[in-house]
Amino acid sequence: MNINRPRLALYIGATDPNEPILTLLADYALEFLNRETHRYFGSPVERQEFLQGSGTHRLFLADAPIGDPVVKEFWQGAEEDTVTDFATRGRLLTRLEGKQWGRRYDYEITYTAGFHILPADVEQAVFDLVRWKYQALEGTTPGMVSEKLGDYSYTRGEVDGSGSSWVPQLNATINAYKRNPI
């Protein structure tokens, strides 16, 4: 994640002693989003999965690959062949020409997962979480808001000083990317 965006929005200079805190908060925010959505939003990393054949023309990976995965087919532990007759769409590997992923076969899939650039809504969610936590650490976020007029008084908690308008957007982003864990 590019830490410059939250740093500039919070008016923190590049030589500010709080720079490591922002980086740490951004890492924690991204980890929170990974955990809540059951997806990986980090920098590209190599993954290796071992899947059993489904007997259908579809297999699902844990994460969407960047580029073409390498698929090796195994029969009773011995490598048979490298599979090339498949297409990738998101997390889905589809066998072509009516072929199937054999039920009695195991498949080793090696691919790169992650993002070179975060989707804009995920980056915004990270930014909002960093801003909220950083302001809370600096003491600029009011924990309670209250007012009193005669015998009437009202007290409520507030997420951040500008209101909680970003929370529904955060929830919408999480729900848009959320999937059941594999």
The string of pLDDT tens digits covering residues 46-95 is: 999 999 999 999 999 988 899 999 999 999 888 889 999 999 998 999 99
Q: What is the pLDDT of residue 143?
A: 47
Chain-centroid distance of CA 99 in Å reads 33
CA atoms within 13 A on the CB side of 138: 17
pLDDT of residue 49: 95
**Residue 51 confidence (pLDDT):** 95
Mean pLDDT of 127-152: 68
99 or 130, which is more confident: 99
Question: Are the beta carbons of 116 and 42 closer than 8 angstroms?
Answer: no
Q: Return the pLDDT at 21.
A: 81
Q: Which two tokens stand for residue 139?
A: 């003491």
Considering only residues 169 and 69, tell me which one the structure prediction assigns the higher pLDDT: 69
Mean of per-residue pLDDT scores for the chain: 81
- What pLDDT sits at residue 161? 47
Q: For residue 132, give Cα distances in angstroms to 16, 27, 99, 138.
A: 18, 14, 51, 10
User: What is the pLDDT at residue 58?
Assistant: 94
Which pTM does this prediction carry?
0.67
Angle at 34 between CA 163 and CA 94, to 5 degrees: 130
Higher pLDDT, 152 or 112: 112
Sheet holding 58-60, edge to edge: 58-60, 92-95, 86-89
